[in-house]
Amino acid sequence: MAGISAFSTYLPRYRLPRAVIAQHWGSHALPGERSVANHDEDSLTLAVAASQNALGVPSRVALDGVFFVSNTAPYREKLVASSLAAVLDTESATRTLDFTDSLRAGSGALFTAFDLVESGQQERVLVATGEVRPVAPDSMDEKAAGDAGAAVVVSRDAGGVELLSRASVTEDFHGTWRTDREDYLRSFPGGLDAKFGYGRIMPQVLHQALEGAGVQAEQISRAVVCGSNPRAIGAVVAKIGIDPMQRLQDSLWGVVGDTGVAQSLLLLAAALEHAQPGELILWGVYGDGADAAVFRVGDQVSAGLPEQRLEQQIEVKRTLDAYGKYARFRKFVKSEFPELESSSAAVLFRDRKEMLPLYGGRCPKCDTLQFPINRICVRCTYEDGLEPIPLPRRGTVFTYYENHVLPNPDPPLIEAVIELDGGARFFCQMTDVAPADLHIGMRVELVFRRYHDAGGIHNYFWKARPAAAAASEERG
Amino acid sequence: MSLKNRVAIIGAGCSRFGEHYDKAAEDLIVEAAQEAIADAGIERERIRAGWVGTISSALSGNALSDPLKLTGIPITRVENYCASGMDAVRNAAFSVAAGMYDIVIALGFEKMRDATLGGLPAPHPVKDNGEAPHVFALSAHRYFANHGASKSTLAKIAVKNHRHGVLSPKAHLRMEVSEEKVLNAPMIYSPLGLFDCCPTTDGAAAVILCRADLAKQLRDDPIYIKGMGLSVSYGAPHYDPTFDYDGFAATRQAAGQAYEQAGISAKDLDLVECHDCFTITEILNYEDLGLCPKGEGGHAAEEDRFALGNALPVNPSGGLKSFGHPVGATGVRMLYELTQHLRGDAGERQVPNARLGLAHNLGGMGAVSAVTVLGNEL
């Protein structure tokens, strides 16, 4: 029996109030705020952060399948699931797939994971999503959108969240789309999608899923239905006999925004954080047709809870009070600064143990943990090689500076020497941090981020940011 | 074996340091070399070998041969971060001490202002090393935390060295600065502001070395090398679990070698030219060179203990801070400076009755240091 055994969300720390966007463009104001990926976050880093939130670091489970879900993958031709598997250090992951090109890519990936686990082909499959929504400056979409990640693990373990039924409808319909030549999302103006797309297809597929499970709408504890705005979602749910005020999972539109392809797993994981054993959950995902499913929450659901709950992530935030920084984050503003960085596929290959899974070395003689994996121990000069070992991801700022010389979308660039728990020293950029909060002794966590695009390569590595606990203390 | 009293400086030259948009490296090299050769009072044909220090302005011995048209002799380019120039002199001195050549030239230079942005290229896609201020800014925050110093402490160094630099005709920035100006300058690498940093400078300096036993035949007042130390420590201190960001082992080791060869200690010195690439560096140098006890450098800066007129002036030239820092030139420029004082030729900034002087470079991540002790008596 396959079931969801772990689940998580990931919200970037930045928020942009919709009033700030409206004020910048002189356009119509909307309530609430949206989440914004930092300049060094992309769909892969969001998926990594969500996966780590679900799995812990080091990973609590061995994965043999890793699926990456996004419509904003960092590469057009190159697998991203393989990068995700490398960061998570899942050497045994034999099946890595990217699911993309539709708002329904998340449900497609989850159903595929269930198929593979139920059929016995895979033991444990991670489905992780991340999306930095490609929305045009000065558009409605810019205000409505949000960036997020989420992850679920489907495994053969008993007691997880079972799939009772599922239904799928495919329709070739231009709801939300983006051609291969365009940078930003489009949708047809007016009520076409509401009347003949979403408003027609979604109730139909939700019905089918209920029928397939042999349950009535009244038996559903929570409806988790995706959609571009709360009003449309409420209308659909009401149509199948569920009171949106009572039993509808919050779309997070007010505090996160419409996260597109990430929404399906984000809202499912959010609902599961509060689900009780025995409850039934109805799930609906729209896009080029629609997918729906009925889940039954198993006895062991609480074993799948993430390290950081969604509520905590909603609270720990940094609010952008001007549009300019967001414009730089999304590269609307071009820099004429000379390109100083370089990259080499050969170096990244050679250093692959250090780069993505972040291994250091432990000296077999003097036990010193160090980075990089030196040939000869930095402390005792033991010459016969260090034992590669994953570095701890938490530590303390030993010393730091603000670099006011190099341009940075979130200036000043902060770099710090980190004393990792276990004693290794690490030097890296800091992110998601206010300079005024910086101090020697600050507790930090290492996060996987995109450093730069050089040599035609997205160059990822690790940065430090205030640990979640430290960030909430500073906040209040 | 010691270098003590085996090699003499019989000529020294230094170009005007500055932002020389109108001069090529060739012009600066010729200016420094011609002065040094003229100062030695020799025909250039007597130079039998050359060493040239530059971090990145040129490659190979051609860096020296081509501007001077000094061909047909062995010339070696030396690169060792900010110690490149002094290390060129060191290797030249070895050749003379070994008896291989009687007279050689060592020259250091750098042409920095042709680039739009200073800084060394990043060799790895993502493992950061930072730029020149990196290890010093990191050290400053630790120094503040450990020893109670502040930005005002650092500013005292800038004020002193600029005051000295006004007396140096060849210095890049010949202007006094107030502590207020230093403290209000734009931040560069916190806590280091603009006036905590030395400038990027164009310049060249040269010395003519000669066997000590022949030196008196060429001039009455040769200056003698008493000791030369060089030490290289781990170049990635930010990955070293034992590095405390409270001074530099390379300096302590290089100084130890030089003091031992010279048979002296810091208290015997009459003047010091030390590597004040950043104000915090000079404070750490006081401690690492043994000019004051550990942790007391900030206090010494606050009481202006090492100003001209006091017992042991540090950076009477104005230092890198005011004289400028063409990387490959700096070590040789310091030996030029010591030579002027030890001969009594340093003009307004002359340290009275100077007999023993020390010059110090610190490069890279604080991991390469060269120290030289010169004296005017055998």
Distance in Å, alpha carbon of A343 to nearest chain B alpha carbon: 5
Maximum pairwise Cα distance, chain A: 72
In this predicted model, what pLDDT tens digit does every residue of B246-297 receive, in sequence order? 999 999 999 999 999 999 999 999 999 999 999 999 999 999 999 999 999 9
B372: left (phi over 0), alpha (psi -120 to 50) or beta: beta
Exposed, middle or buried: residue A345 (CB in 10 Å: 0-12, 13-18, 19+)?
A: exposed
Inside any domain, residue A424: yes
Let me know whether A131 and A195 are in one domain: yes
The reported pLDDT for the residue numbered A158 is 81
Same-domain pairing of A178 and A108:
yes
CATH at residue A457: 2.40.50.840
* Cβ-defined contact of B190 to A457 (cutoff 8 Å): no
Tokens of A182: 């365009």
Instruction: Tell me the pLDDT tens digit for each residue of B308-349.
Output: 999 999 999 999 999 999 999 999 999 999 999 999 999 999
- The enclosing domain of A230 has a CATH number of 3.40.47.10
Buried b / exposed e over B231-248, threshold 16 CB at 10 Å, is bbbbbbbbbbbebebbbb
Question: B117 and A338 in contact by Cβ < 8 A?
Answer: yes
Q: Which residue has the higher pLDDT, B361 or A338?
A: B361
Helix/strand/coil for A219? helix
Residue at A385 is within a domain: no
- Enumerate the residues of chain A whose CB falls inside 8 A of the CB of residue B122: 340-342
Q: How confident is the model at residue B120 (pLDDT cuts 50, 70, 90)?
A: very low
pLDDT tens, position by position, B126-164: 886 668 899 999 999 999 999 999 999 999 999 999 999
Residues A288 and A354 in one domain: no
- Which stretch of A52-61, A77-86, A450-459, B309-318 has the lowest confidence by average pLDDT? A52-61
Q: Across the strands, what pairs with A66? A: A96, A126
What is the pLDDT at residue A476?
39
Binned at pLDDT 50, 70 and 90, residue A471 comes out as low
Q: Quick one: pLDDT band at residue A455, thresholds 50, 70, 90? A: confident
Complex ipTM over 0.95: no
Residue A337 lies inside a defined structural domain of this protein: no
Q: Each residue of B169-227: pLDDT tens digit? A: 999 999 999 999 999 999 999 999 999 999 999 999 999 999 999 999 999 999 999 99
A340–chain B Cβ distance below 8 A for any pair: yes
In a domain, residue A339? The reply is: no
Chain B closest CA to A426's CA: distance in Å? 6
Give A374 to chain B, closest Cα distance, Å. Answer: 10
Average pLDDT score over residue span B97-101:
98
* Residues of B recognised as catalytic: 82, 325
Q: Which residues of B touch A423 (CB under 8 A)?
A: 241
Q: How far is B133 from chain A (nearest CA, A)?
A: 9
Domain residues for the domain of A450 are: 345-358+393-475
* Cα–Cα separations (whole angstroms), residue B369 to A292, B93, B249, B253: 69, 17, 9, 8
Give which of A113, A145, A114 is closest to A132, Cα–Cα. A145
Q: Is A262 in the same domain as A292? A: yes
Same domain? A275 vs A352: no
3-state secondary structure chain B: CCCCCCEEEEEEEECCCECCCCCCHHHHHHHHHHHHHHHHCCCHHHCCCEEEECCCCCCCCHHHHHHHCCCCCCEEEECECECHHHHHHHHHHHHHHCCCCCEEEEEEEECCCCCCCCCCCCCCCCCCCCCCCHHHHHHHHHHHHHHCCCHHHHHHHHHHHHHHHCCCCCCCCCCCCCHHHHHHCCEEECCEEHHHECCCCEEEEEEEEEEHHHHHHHCCCCEEEEEEEEEECCCCHHHCCCCCCCCCHHHHHHHHHHHHHHCCCHHHCCEEECCCCEHHHHHHHHHHCCCCCCCCHHHHHHCCCCCCCCCCCECCCCHHHHHCCCHHHHHHHHHHHHHHHHHCCCHHHCCCCCCEEEEEEEECCCCEEEEEEEECCC
Contact A144, A138 (CB under 8 A): no
Place of tokens 């080499």: A344
By Cβ distance, the residue of A341, A372, A402 closest to B122 is: A341
Mean pLDDT value across residues A354-373? 96
The verdict on A208 and A154 lying in the same domain is yes
In the CATH hierarchy, which fold is given to the domain comprising B7-116+198-375?
Peroxisomal Thiolase; Chain A, domain 1 (3.40.47)
Q: Which of B126, B188, B239 sits opposite A405 (nearest CB)?
A: B188
The token pair at B72 is 């047909």
Predicted pLDDT at A473: 54
Q: Which two tokens stand for residue B122?
A: 């990043």
Range ranked top by mean pLDDT from A173-182, B107-116, B339-348: B339-348
Res A59 pLDDT > 90? no
User: Is the confidence at residue A35, as pLDDT, over 90?
Assistant: yes
Q: In this structure, are residues A89 and A58 in contact, taking their beta carbons and an 8 Å threshold?
A: yes
Give the tens place of pLDDT for each residue, A418-451: 999 999 999 999 999 999 999 999 999 999 999 9
Determine the average pLDDT of the residues in A355-360: 95
Q: Do B188 and A404 touch (CB under 8 A)?
A: yes
Whether residue A245 is found in the same domain as residue A350: no
Contact B131 A405 (CB under 8 A): yes
Query: Does residue A321 form part of some domain?
Result: yes
For residue B123, the model assigns a pLDDT of: 66
- For residue A475, the model assigns a pLDDT of 47
Reference A76, options A180, A199, A232, A165; nearest CA is: A180
What average pLDDT score do residues A264-272 get?
Answer: 98
The pLDDT assigned to A31 comes to 97
Q: For residue A377, is it within any domain?
A: no
Residue A474: pLDDT over 90: no
Chain B interface, mutation test: which of A380, A420, A427, A433, most B Cβ atoms within 10 Å?
Answer: A427
Alpha-carbon distance of B265 to B257, in angstroms, equals 11
Q: Does B185 contact chain A (CB < 8 Å)?
A: no
Q: Over chain A, what is the mean pLDDT?
A: 94
Domain count of the fold of chain A: 2
Same domain (yes/no): A75, A141: yes
A426 touches chain B (CB under 8 A): yes
pLDDT, one tens digit per residue, over B13-71 is 999 999 999 999 999 999 999 999 999 999 999 999 999 999 999 999 999 999 999 99
Output the pLDDT for position A233.
Answer: 97
Residue of chain B whose alpha carbon sits nearest to that of A377: B240
Instruction: Write the residue in A338, A412, A415 that is nearest to B130 by C-beta.
Output: A415
- Chain A interface, best mutation among B117, B120, B124, B136, by max A CB count within 10 A: B124
